Amino acid sequence: MSNTIQKYKDYVMTGFLKSVAPIVIDRASGVKVWDENGREYLDCFSGISVVNAGHNHPRVVAAAKAQMDKLIHCSSYLYHVAPVADLAEKIAHIAPRGLTKSFFGNGGAEAIEGALKLARLYTGKHEFISLHGSFHGRSWGTLSLTGNQGRKKRGGPYAPGIAFAPAPYAYRSLWANDPEECARQCAKSIDEVIRFATAGDVAAFIAEPVMGEGGILVPPTNYFREVKKVLDQHGILFIADEVQSGFGRTGKMFAIEHYGVTPDILVTAKGIADGFPLSAFTTRPEIAAAYKPGDHLSTFGGNPVACAAALANIQVMEEEHLPARAAETGEYAMKKLRGLQKQNPLIGEVRGLGLMIGVELVRDEKLTPANTEAEAIRDALLREGVLVGVGGVYGNVVRFQPPLIITKEQIDRALDAFAAALTEVSQPAAV
Ligand SMILES: Cc1ncc(COP(=O)(O)O)c(C=O)c1O
């Protein structure tokens, strides 16, 4: 057994995982990673949707190295440091209109927690509404907001003051053939949740513009406009959790841009710095002003190296037109996947935006989730040298979220391997 795998068994906490892939990743470049034996893999999961500009983008690496030679840490909130200022200015220019003030943390959950606290301080209200099937992190507060028992089990009881509304999961709804009606009904149910499941003290509604861990659920195009009408009637803020969908992943810099709605607070992490740990929440100046001296801080937040990497990463995204590339390559991939769907009844639905793509596998017309099949496909793809993810509330969604620089030839290679794995898994076991 590999030395590293043995040390994992002896010293790393992994009991919470069903399995860790039996490979040791040693190095990476662009869309490819290599294991310690020099075997090459095509990475179609990007380290859980993180390295959007590709692994070890030379400009991101150069920016981080240059910053490392000058200053690694001195607390970016006790003193001024240029990378924080430069990155915050850049985000103010690319974020939805009016969102010009950012706070930087280290990971997604931390940023969500900061955004929740800010929403409470600004509104003077205390409750939150979240969606069924959502995922917002693994801290206690963010698990409390998460609408998926699979992620919450054995961690409760959770925070009071959080109510859940149905997600616009059209495929498994009564309105499977009318997604816009599904969206209208789901938005209407938020009004009911406010009236029947809260104390009328709701500070914010939080949602992922495309739900990642929930199985790449793409709300119909009218959903957030309908939701916003309800929120505005009740004076409730909208927090867009773009931890997974942000930074070009869906074909726009931020997924909420597809919906013609501006959130009050935008939360980002994962793709922000091409793999360096960094997160942000960004809001309007009057909301940001609700944080008074002493209200918030993070020791490592706004790390200069991570911020310098993020700035270079965003410049790369703009200059290499990565969101547009994601839109085009994503369309190409989904067309091919829909072709496969016609030949294989195991594929219930292909859905996605840009390069945030999910293939929901079902066993029959009752949509029985094919979760073991999804895992078997992921494992078969690993053996073929292709990394993908598995997710969804029922664990039956194969996730393709490659770096946005992936070429059509690489997509072909990955999807040929997927088609072969699908056939292998669909065949009845030999007696
Ligand atoms: C939508 C969303 N929000 C929050 C998080 C939590 O981010 P982190 O794991 O960096 O704390 C995730 C992680 O997958 C996520 O997908």
Report pLDDT digits (tens) over 105-163: 999 999 999 999 999 999 999 999 999 999 999 999 999 999 999 999 999 999 999 99
Which atom of ligand 1 lies closest to the CA of 111?
11
Q: What radius of gyration do the chain's Cα atoms show?
A: 21
For residue 112, the CA-to-ligand 1 centroid distance in Å is 9
For residue range 263-272, list pLDDT tens digits in order: 999 999 999 9
Q: Would you say residue 201 has pLDDT above 90?
A: yes
Interval 29-45: pLDDT, tens? 999 999 999 999 999 99
Checking if the pLDDT of 203 tops 80, the result is: yes
pLDDT digits (tens, 9 = 90+) for 241-271: 999 999 999 999 999 999 999 999 999 999 9
**How many whole angstroms from 139 Cα to the centroid of ligand 1?**
10
pLDDT at 430 over 70: no
Q: How far is the CA of 168 from the centre of ligand 1 (A)?
A: 20
Ligand 1 atom, smallest distance to 134 CA: 1
- Pocket of ligand 1 from Cβ distances under 6 Å: 48, 107-109, 112, 135-137, 208, 212-213, 241, 243-244, 269
Contact between 326 and 340 (Cβ < 8 Å): no
Look at residue 20 in the predicted model and tell me its pLDDT: 87
The stretch 74-95 carries a mean pLDDT of 97
Atom in ligand 1 nearest the alpha carbon of residue 267: 3
For residue 109, the CA-to-ligand 1 centroid distance in Å is 6
Identical fold for domains 3-53+321-426 and 58-319, yes or no, is: no
Question: 3-53+321-426: which CATH topology?
Answer: Aspartate Aminotransferase, domain 1 (3.90.1150)
- The whole-model pTM stands at 0.97
Rounded to the nearest angstrom, the distance between the alpha carbon of 212 and the centre of ligand 1 is 9
How far is Cα 403 from Cα 316, in angstroms, rounded to an integer? 13
Question: Domain spans of the chain?
Answer: 3-53+321-426, 58-319
Q: How far is the CA of 339 from the centre of ligand 1 (A)?
A: 31
Query: What was the pLDDT predicted at 35?
Result: 98
CA of 299 to the centre of ligand 1 (A): 20
Q: How far apart are CA 350 and CA 397, in angstroms?
A: 9
- Name the residue of 52, 113, 136 to mutate for ligand 1: max ligand atoms within 8 A of Cβ: 136
CATH 3.40.50.2000 fits 58-319, yes or no: no
Residue to probe by mutation, ligand 1, list 50, 244, 265, 267, most atoms within 8 Å of CB: 244
Q: Which atom of ligand 1 is nearest to the CA of 213?
A: 16
> Atom 8 of ligand 1 has which residue's CA nearest to it?
108
User: Is the predicted pLDDT of residue 230 greater than 80, yes or no?
Assistant: yes
Separation CA 33–CA 43 (nearest Å): 7
User: CB of 67 within 8 A of CB of 273?
Assistant: no
Residue that is written with structure tokens 């997924």 in the block: 255
Instruction: Give how far Cα 254 sits from Cα of 8, 60, 94, Å.
Output: 36, 20, 9
Average pLDDT over residues 17-40: 94
Q: Which atom of ligand 1 is nearest to the CA of 270?
A: 10
Per-residue pLDDT of 341-379, as tens digits, reads 999 999 999 999 999 999 999 999 999 999 999 999 999
Q: Which residues of 107-140 are buried (b: 16+ CB within 10 A; e: fewer)?
A: bbbbbbbbbbbbbbbbbebebbbbbbbbbbbeee
Mutate to test the pocket of ligand 1, among 239, 243, 247, 250 (most ligand atoms within 8 A of CB): 243
Band the pLDDT of 1: cuts 50, 70, 90.
confident
Percent of the chain with pLDDT over 70: 99
For the CA of 211, the nearest atom of ligand 1? 1
CA of 140 from ligand 1 middle (Å) equals 13
Question: What is the overall mean pLDDT for the chain?
Answer: 97
Q: How far is the CA of 318 from the centre of ligand 1 (A)?
A: 24
Is residue 431 pLDDT above 80, yes or no?
no
Distance 425 CA to ligand 1 centre (A): 30
Query: Which residue type occupies 307?
Result: C
Amino acid 18: pLDDT: 80
The minimum-distance atom of ligand 1 relative to the CA of 137 is 6
Ligand 1 center from residue 38 Cα (angstroms): 31
pLDDT at 294 over 70: yes
Angle at 166 between CA 165 and CA 169, to 5 degrees: 150
